A and B are shown apart, each in its own frame.
Chain A
Amino acid sequence: LAKTTQPISMDSYEGQEVNITCSHNNIATNDYITWYQQFPSQGPRFIIQGYKTKVTNEVASLFIPADRKSSTLSLPRVSLSDTAVYYCLVGDIGVKAAGNKLTFGGGTRVLVKP
């Protein structure tokens, strides 16, 4: 399984764009990159997933360079309610893959200030 490295914490202000980079130098060919958001005392919630280039949904964008050794989660125009811990998860999510043993890293604590 690819090990991931994320910043421990980031501060931002309402209305700003937040970019969180995850490093995964040992990513394998079949690995997907998935990001989750977790509020205090709640279970993590899926945000976005990608394999390469750029993926965008109603919540965030995910940028993955050609070498796939890192990825960047972009949260546009954050609000106070975006204060949470964000986890980068890398693994092969195929049915018979070792990635079924899915390990989360330490996550990035994002604090959005007024």
Chain B
Amino acid sequence: EAQVTQNPRYLITVTGKKLTVTCSQNMNHEYMSWYRQDPGLGLRQIYYSMNVEVTDKGDVPEGYKVSRKEKRNFPLILESPSPNQTSLYFCASRTGTGGWNEKLFFGSGTQLSVL
């Protein structure tokens, strides 16, 4: 089944303790992206990647890192989490070839709480 898999689904941590949220897709997609969703603010893009070893900042990249060493994986890293990073996070992917019917496939989300 074509899907984007995020782990963990829920995560509670403390300020300053490094964490990684994993994201994997099985559709051979070139493009992957991370979003955070906060009440009243909709979905905001954190980082995106057009291909292996190619990453770029989205609208809210501060406090986050990403890597794209393999095509299927795009982990989100919080080196020193802070309470304002408490949010619902989504990973997404699409083919990246452009054109008609390019659509994003989203993971189920990771609810992160930073205490």
Contact = CB atoms under 8 A, between A and B. Distances in A.
Range for the number of chain B residues in contact with chain A: 35 or more
A87 B104 CA distance: 13
Contacts of B102: 32, 49, 93
Interface hub of A43, A51, A97, A106 (most chain B Cβ within 10 A) = A43
Nearest to A93: B102
Interface residues of A, number: 25
Interface in A72-114: 87, 93-97, 100-107
B55 to A, nearest CB: 11
Contacts of B42: 87, 104-107
A32 B31 CA distance: 17
Contact of A100 (B4, B43, B50): B50
A69 B40 CA distance: 24
Contacts of B103: 34, 46, 49
Contact of B58 (A32, A46, A101): A101
A49 B94 CA distance: 14
A41 interface: yes
B107 interface: yes
A42 B103 CA distance: 16
Nearest to B41: A106
Contacts of A107: 42
25 contacts: A36-B104, A41-B111, A42-B106, A42-B109, A43-B4, A43-B108, A43-B109, A44-B43, A44-B90, A45-B106, A46-B105, A49-B102, A93-B98, A93-B99, A94-B98, A95-B97, A95-B98, A100-B50, A102-B33, A102-B48, A103-B59, A104-B35, A104-B43, A104-B45, A106-B42
